[in-house]
A and B are shown apart, each in its own frame.
Chain A
């Protein structure tokens, strides 16, 4: 289980995160939402150890990740899979080599066994016949799926997804959301997703945390996010005129 306790982070004299505490639900999709610049990407970087917090604890099964030795951190990181905003595939490697890389590095089984595992993961994300293509030869949606295949190839306990829908068309976004949800349930992974896409939130979010200017503003589930009284969250959720009209109609029906 991942638990964040009183995390704060500043860049120079600019505070980015202020006393954030979150308990992630194990085996569920935990969504961190907020406007651009709210600090959710920094929070994710702190959770995976790409940056150090100024204060607070990040607990993986009770052990403080922030204060661990490098070797212990490496062991935790082997349990982490991450899908990056821009997929972060290795340009010089094919799709197959990208997914194979963590296996070859950390799981020295026979080449045939490793290849079977790669093909299993690629089939799982719906990319059976792309093994020999390079990242430059595939679409943005396919890159995300290769990124997911690479993230799950070592059977991680935790899956982090940074803006998985950015730059994708609505249909591909839904496919990626469904894939994240399926993988979370099937492999019993604790998934943490950063997003500002409300479709994703309503589609796959089990627990939702709203960050506003570096502060945790709201926490709950999708059943009560639409009826919240929090004004800032309301503005974020019902950002478009269409959604505001939808909310007002729903409220009037409910009241009548």
Chain B
């Protein structure tokens, strides 16, 4: 029963996001502020995890490839396909759920418990529209960009480490990657990116918006936002793979 209560309230909250903005200029300003907060401020962590992701996958794939009959370029194919299909979108989104999800939930939750959301509503502002829709839109725009960057850097990390450690040359890596490349995989990866971006931002905003109590409850809402976002990312990852592949 609790699931249906929360799911219904989540849908009702989302419905409020589509109301006409009171002042479009203010919403645009907020959207750009959120794009910086969600996108630009996450660049560092995305660069670090994706380079290491590609590097580690290259080393581990080489370790498992014991047969001398298989060409080394297959490592390039495995690493690039894994980066495009799973590592880039899913691992990056799980990390972003921790960073962005907790930030969104705690920001909105703090505004709720300190009556800032009440202040917006009394002014006549559609509080969910002003606070949540720019965040969701910013996430849906910037997270796929971050994921494209993560995929590129993961492949780059694989090429660099393969060359550096002598596992395979960069030419062999690229040859393998090109041989297995399917444009559909990129489209599939981007579908996942948009889905995960929506999940992270909307679930976290929901948790923050309905926070009740004080600072302790804000912390709990932030934790719930990360946990539910991660679970829903993994669940939708499976569903999308089952449906589209």
Contact = CB atoms under 8 A, between A and B. Distances in A.
Given A86-B114, A91-B116, A106 B23 contact: yes
A102 B124 CA distance: 9
B216 interface: no
A88 B116 contact: yes
A5 to B, nearest CB: 22
Interface in A103-159: 104-106, 108
B22 A88 contact: no
A86 B118 CA distance: 12
Interface in A64-111: 73-75, 77-78, 80, 82, 84-86, 88-91, 101-102, 104-106, 108
B122 A48 contact: yes
A171 interface: no
A82 B119 contact: yes
Interface residues of B, number: 16
Contact of A77 (B25, B114, B124): B124
A73 B125 CA distance: 11
B148 to A, nearest CB: 30
* Residue from the set B22, B110, B114 with the largest chain A CB neighbour count within 10 Å: B114
Contact of B124 (A86, A106, A160): A106
Contacts of A78: 123-124
A50 interface: yes
Contacts of A77: 121-124
Nearest to A75: B124
Contact of B115 (A86, A105, A106, A160): A86
B245 interface: no
B125 A105 contact: yes
Contacts of A75: 124
Interface of A: 48-50, 73-75, 77-78, 80, 82, 84-86, 88-91, 101-102, 104-106, 108, 160
Given A85-B115, A105-B123, 15 more contacts: A48-B122, A50-B121, A73-B124, A78-B124, A84-B118, A86-B114, A88-B114, A88-B115, A89-B116, A90-B119, A91-B110, A104-B25, A105-B22, A106-B124, A108-B25
7 contacts: A80-B122, A86-B114, A86-B115, A88-B118, A91-B111, A105-B125, A160-B122
